[in-house]
Amino acid sequence: MQPSYDKSPLTLPEQVEHLRQKGLAIGDPRRAIDVLRRVGLYRFKGYLLPYKSSEGYAGGVTFEDIEGLMAFDEALRLHILTAMPLVEVGIRQAIGQPMLERYGVRWYACEELFAASDYFQHTEFLRKALDEFHGMPDLFVGHYREKYHQTEPPPAWMITETMTLGSWSKLFESLPQEERDLIALPLGIKASTLASWLHALTIVRNICAHHSRLYDRTFNTMGLADDRRTKRLLRQNSFDERDEGARRLAPRLYALHRLTRALDPQTRWTAGLKTLLAPVPPGTLARVGFRPGWDGQSEWA
């Protein structure tokens, strides 16, 4: 039988002393109290996990080091979020437009178009999509409700504006192979790879939106790229050699690189990523899934 959690809460000074007793060097206890008051001990300790052992924290690690990691992690999250409007809106259009042209204004409501699976049931999807639509305070939603009969679902271009990236990911993966191929072709990405990337990026997007830790996080595996040569080059030159299952952040950043470039060839998102990571030490880069020199590889051009 598992025990109950019965640890007592610590005051802020006690939290600082707790970290000190575990071996963390703290140069300015007052500053440490201010930081812990703002972010919380539990969140702070998440960034200490790579340095933890049975005896405490590795020697030489300072409170200020961890502050720096948290600042880097925040900057990385914010940079990822700058890509999401382009990706989310672009993916809506990339899926929605060809489906509109082929199946009409309510294509998303055609149950026969979609394959049921453990993670996608069309009836549940449609119910949730319509609930989200009617629950939105946007002017266009109110206008539709006031002007048109509600016996049929709204046109797809309205639903498009209220569906989440996660819903689009599931919807895309449940379409017939022919439709997925048609959608993926203009993006220059295989449909199977695009499906994997949309699922992976939904998780990353939600982590960023909820201000959770990206640094040293391990994800589920994902598709790296479309072809064997690109996969081989990425593994050899860009990604940390220990990340054999593409479970670090770096492969997801590559997916963002490819998608942002496909949706807007003039984007500067990857250039901004390279600038952000340029001063990061190799040990920290490895915790994100990169190896030194990744930014000079042709796959990131």
Residue 152: the pLDDT is 81
Residue 301 to residue 246: CA distance in whole angstroms: 20
pLDDT value at residue 253: 98
The confidence band for 133, taking pLDDT boundaries of 50, 70 and 90, is confident
Q: Is 172 helix (H, G, I), strand (E, B) or coil?
A: helix
Report pLDDT digits (tens) over 82-127.
999 999 999 999 999 999 999 999 999 999 999 988 889 999 999 9
The mean pLDDT of 171-187, rounded to a whole number, is 96
Of 141 and 156, the one with more pLDDT: 156
Q: Is the distance from CB of 270 to CB of 260 less than 8 angstroms?
A: yes
How confident is residue 206, by pLDDT bands cut at 50, 70 and 90? very high
Distance CA 283, CA 216 (A): 11
- pLDDT score recorded for residue 146: 74
Q: Is the separation of the CB atoms in 189 and 262 below 8 Å?
A: yes
Q: Report the pLDDT averaged over residues 139-160.
A: 79
- CA distance to 91, 94, 212, 219, per residue, from 215 (Å): 26, 31, 9, 11
> Cα separations (Å) of 288 from 36, 70, 244?
24, 13, 13
Both structure tokens of 147: 């002007």
Mean pLDDT of the 210-225 span: 95
The domain segmentation of the chain, as residue ranges, is: 12-61, 70-107+165-300
Q: H or E stretch including 53?
A: strand 52-53
- 39 CB neighbour count, 10 Å cutoff: 15
Please answer whether residues 115 and 178 qualify as being in contact, where contact means their C-beta atoms are separated by less than 8 angstroms. no
Token representation of residue 60: 């030489």
- Cβ 159 vs Cβ 153: under 8 Å: yes
Contact 212, 73 (CB under 8 A): no
Q: Strands 52-53 and 56-57: what pairing?
A: antiparallel
Task: Specify the pLDDT at position 216.
Answer: 95
- Nearest Cα to Cα of residue 227 among 190, 191, 282, 253: 190
Please give the C-alpha separations between residue 95 and each of 58, 113, 165, 213, 297, in angstroms, as whole numbers.
49, 14, 12, 31, 31
Output the pLDDT for position 43: 96
Task: Say if residue 86 is exposed, middle or buried (CB neighbours under 10 Å; 0-12, 13-18, 19+).
Answer: middle
CA–CA gap between residue 32 and residue 21 (Å, rounded)? 14
Higher-pLDDT residue of 6 and 97 is 97
> Coil, strand or helix: which one is 62?
strand
**Residue 21 clears pLDDT 80, i.e. is over it:** yes
Report d(CA 240, CA 248) in Å as an integer: 9
- pLDDT (0 to 100) of residue 153: 86
Higher pLDDT among residues 56 and 168, named by residue: 168
Nearest to 169 by CA among 129, 196, 133, 142: 196
Q: What is the pTM of this model?
A: 0.93
How far apart, in whole angstroms, are the C-alpha atoms of residue 88 and residue 164? Answer: 8
In whole angstroms, give the CA distance from residue 102 to residue 179: 10
pLDDT at 147 over 80: no
Give yes or no for residue 187 having a pLDDT over 90: yes
Please give the mean pLDDT across all residues of the chain. Answer: 93
Give residue 106's identity as a one-letter amino acid code.
Answer: R
Better-scored residue on pLDDT, 166 or 54: 166
